[in-house]
Each structure stands twice: as C-alpha cells, then as structure tokens.
Amino acid sequence: MKISAHPLGTLAETDTLVIGSVASGCGAALGAASQNMDVVNADKGKLESSGCIGGGNDHYMAVLDEEGEPFDTADDLVKFYSKPLNGWTRAILINCWYNHMRHFLEILEPAGVKFGRHADGRFQRAQGFGQPGRWRTHISNGMIIKRVLARLVRDAGANVLDRVMITDILVDNGKGTGAVGFNVKTGEFVIIRAKTVVSTQGRSATRGADNSTHNPFNVWMFPYNTKRRRRPWLQGGSGGNRAGYLSKRDAVAQRFWLSGHEWN
C-alpha cells in the first residue's frame, strides 16, 4: 500500500481493496495476499472484533465428506439449498461454498480454532436449522475465532484500515477503482485507489429488526450492521466489472474470486 497526503485527507493506493473485514472480507484479503497482491482491508470496525464473528461463533457450518456420515456431500448441500426462487445455483453452491468449506476449516484449525473431535479423529458435529446432515462442526473456543482470523490476515501482509467507514465506491467505466470514506474516530477523510474492489459488507441490516426474544443481540446477523453495503455497491454498479460482492459463505472462498469466479 502506498500512502500519501492528499488535499482532502489521506490517499492509499493498492491492488485490491476489500471493504469489510469479517468472514468474507478476511477470506478475500487472504486470497488476494496469497496471490502476492497488495491488499487493503478496510472496515468501520476493528479487524480483531468486527462484524458477526466478533462476538464469537460456536460452530462451523460445513459438509465435510466424512466417511460413513450421512448427508455430508456436495450433492446434499445443493439439494438442500438450491431452490427454484432463491438464486443459489449448483455452481454457486459448489464453487463458492462447498469448495471452500473443508479448505478453510483446515486453515483455521492449525491457526488455533479448536474444533471438537472424537477419539477417532472425526469431528464432533450436530444437526440444526432443518438441515438433513450434521453440518455444524463444534468449536470449543469460538470466542477467539475473530482474533485468530485477524492474526492470519495481518500475518499474510494485508494492510488493515480499521475504523474507516466507506461512504462511496469509486467507479470508472463501470469498473470499481477505489472508495472514499472517513475514519470514524478522527474524522480523517480517506481515499483508496485500487485495481479491484471487493465488497464484503455483510448481508443485512439487523439493528431495526426485532425477534421473539426482543433482545437485539440475539439475532442471526451482527446487530450493528447498517446495510451500508447496499448503497455504495448499487451506486458503484456491480455488472461487468472485476469487482465482486461476496458474503459470508463465499467468504470462506478465499481463493475463488481472484481466479475469475463464475456465479452461474
């Protein structure tokens, strides 16, 4: 990352800008770094605690092809998730989810995330959310998972811009070329120029949502998501450019997007 002063604030220049530093953002940043790209990972939170994983996750959702384990294959995943109206095609589910499930688990485990295992080495797994198989692999120290992920990202050499709220994605000829935002603590204006922009800003806004417990934290997504991803991204235009939008499960997709992913 090249940093310089700009009349408006600070200018950062990089190969790849990843907006959002959680499951998908960390995956994208690791993917870019592994291909020797200079990468900036910007988030309005702090990498070590931002987003849905910040407070901890207690399981890792995956089909793992374990021998003798029922409903544990790519086909089972596709059968369960691909429905006529939800837009998740077989290619998306295989390329963006399945291909990265075991792969990313095998990155997290040696890095310090403790997955429950039986004496014979098989993963401790449970069934949930109406899924046919035992797709929830237990994590016994899930409260630190974001710290582990953060260390991987920093060790990979990604340039981390904590506490930078992106307000707009810069576009040239339909291609994402950077973004602008401001530091939420200092107010400093930040301009980031990049050859590729990846938005991993989370799926939904849940701050306004209610649920049966009336506890705003007891929701599926991080309660302080503001859905900011929608505006810059729609404004930036997602068609035909090299930028891609990734969300949680694709995130684990640390390798796919740079090598020219196919959504359909």
Ligand X SMILES: Cc1cc2nc3c(=O)[nH]c(=O)nc-3n(C[C@H](O)[C@H](O)[C@H](O)COP(=O)(O)OP(=O)(O)OC[C@H]3O[C@@H](n4cnc5c(N)ncnc54)[C@H](O)[C@@H]3O)c2cc1C
Sites of contact with ligand X (CB under 6 A) = 19-25, 42-45, 50-53, 55, 57-61, 165-166, 181, 200-203, 220-222, 225, 228-229, 247-248, 251
CB 43 within 8 A of CB 20: yes
Tell me whether residue 68 or residue 185 sits nearer to ligand X (CB atom): 185
Tell me whether residue 67 or residue 140 sits nearer to ligand X (CB atom): 140
| Nearest residue (beta carbon) to ligand X | 202
* Secondary structure percentages of the chain, helix, strand, coil, to 5: 25, 25, 50
In whole angstroms, how close is the CB of 167 to ligand X at the nearest point? 7
Give the DSSP letter string of 140-168: TTGGGHHHHHHHHHHHTTPEEETTEEEEE
The amino acid occupying position 112 is G
In whole angstroms, how close is the CB of 222 to ligand X at the nearest point? 5
Cα–Cα distance list, 73 to 67, 78, 92, 211, 258 (Å): 10, 9, 15, 33, 26
In whole angstroms, give the CA distance from residue 187 to residue 182.
Answer: 6
Q: Give the number of other CB atoms < 10 A from CB of residue 10.
A: 16
Tell me whether residue 34 or residue 167 sits nearer to ligand X (CB atom): 167
Tell me whether residue 48 or residue 76 sits nearer to ligand X (CB atom): 48
3-state secondary structure of 54: helix
Using the 8-state DSSP alphabet, how is residue 48 labeled?
T
In whole angstroms, how close is the CB of 126 to ligand X at the nearest point? 11
In whole angstroms, give the CA distance from residue 28 to residue 115.
Answer: 23
Tell me whether residue 36 or residue 212 sits nearer to ligand X (CB atom): 212
In whole angstroms, how close is the CB of 38 to ligand X at the nearest point? 19
Strands 39-42 and 9-19, how do they pair? parallel
Cα–Cα distance list, 175 to 190, 194, 195, 196, 237 (Å): 20, 10, 9, 8, 8
Question: Phi and psi (nearest 5°) for 97?
Answer: -110, -70
Q: Is 84 left (phi over 0), alpha (psi -120 to 50) or beta?
A: alpha
Tell me whether residue 43 or residue 72 sits nearer to ligand X (CB atom): 43
In whole angstroms, how close is the CB of 170 to ligand X at the nearest point? 13
Tell me whether residue 36 or residue 232 sits nearer to ligand X (CB atom): 232
In whole angstroms, how close is the CB of 160 to ligand X at the nearest point? 12
